[in-house]
């Protein structure tokens, strides 16, 4: 009936395990090793502190008023607007014209990106010279050639609508806003 040696070896191991269990308070060597490994894993756990949350200025909702994190420059006559491509070209009230300008890189009045110097002590943005440290380059579109000069003073209201859905129509602004909407599609 089979080999007595393997059966005898298994019985001897079983007897040794039960004597170890009796000596260690009823816990096998294998169970002791598992418990030790669990303790080691718990004791070698590395806790990484959660990074500080950014200040209110960094979590501010994007606005053309502040230009914070803007990535495109619009020129309308003498006025500059630092805008966000994701909102003005791809958002819920996006402009098909601007989307086309963003995706093709088309620039109506300038062929070079505009570089601005970031003033970190004040948090403002000042126009600068190409090159040097602390600068960011953004592309631009000049709408002065496609928007009649009579509508330029009303362009702020167009951007207010694109960014916040806030539109206050009046007798004075209805036609200029319609002209802007027609040009920007």
- Read out DSSP for 124-157? -EEE--SSSSSEEEEEEEE-TTTS-GGGGGGHHH
The answer for residues whose C-beta is within 8 angstroms of residue 148's C-beta and 6 or more apart is 179
Burial (0-12, 13-18, 19+ Cβ within 10 Å), 49: exposed
Q: Cα separation of 152 and 145, whole Å?
A: 11
Q: Which tens digit of pLDDT belongs to each residue from 114-157?
A: 555 443 333 344 444 333 344 556 688 889 999 999 999 999 99
Is the confidence at residue 64, as pLDDT, over 60?
Answer: yes
Is the confidence at residue 113, as pLDDT, over 70?
Answer: no
Is the confidence at residue 53, as pLDDT, over 80?
Answer: no
| Residues 125 and 67 sit within 8 Å (Cβ to Cβ) | yes
- Residue with the larger pLDDT of the pair 10 and 51: 51
| Residues 107 and 141 sit within 8 Å (Cβ to Cβ) | yes
Q: Which tens digit of pLDDT belongs to each residue from 169-180?
A: 999 999 999 999
Is the confidence at residue 158, as pLDDT, over 50?
Answer: yes
């Amino acid at each position: 009936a089979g080999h007595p040696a393997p059966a005898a070896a298994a019985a001897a191991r079983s007897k040794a395990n039960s004597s170890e269990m009796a000596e260690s308070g009823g816990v096998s060597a294998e169970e002791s090793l598992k418990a030790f490994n669990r303790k080691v894993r718990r004791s070698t756990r590395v806790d990484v502190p959660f990074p500080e949350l950014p200040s209110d200025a960094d979590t501010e909702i994007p606005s053309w008023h502040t230009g914070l994190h803007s990535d495109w420059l619009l020129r309308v006559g003498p006025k500059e607007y630092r805008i966000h491509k994701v909102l003005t070209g791809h958002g819920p009230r996006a402009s098909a014209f601007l989307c086309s300008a963003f995706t093709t890189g088309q620039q109506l009045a300038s062929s070079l990106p505009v570089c601005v110097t970031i003033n970190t002590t004040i948090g403002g943005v000042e126009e600068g010279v190409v090159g040097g440290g602390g600068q960011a380059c953004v592309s631009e579109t000049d709408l002065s050639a496609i928007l009649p000069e009579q509508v330029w003073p009303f362009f702020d209201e167009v951007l207010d609508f694109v960014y916040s859905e806030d539109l206050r129509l009046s007798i004075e602004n209805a036609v200029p806003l319609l002209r802007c909407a027609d040009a920007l599609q």
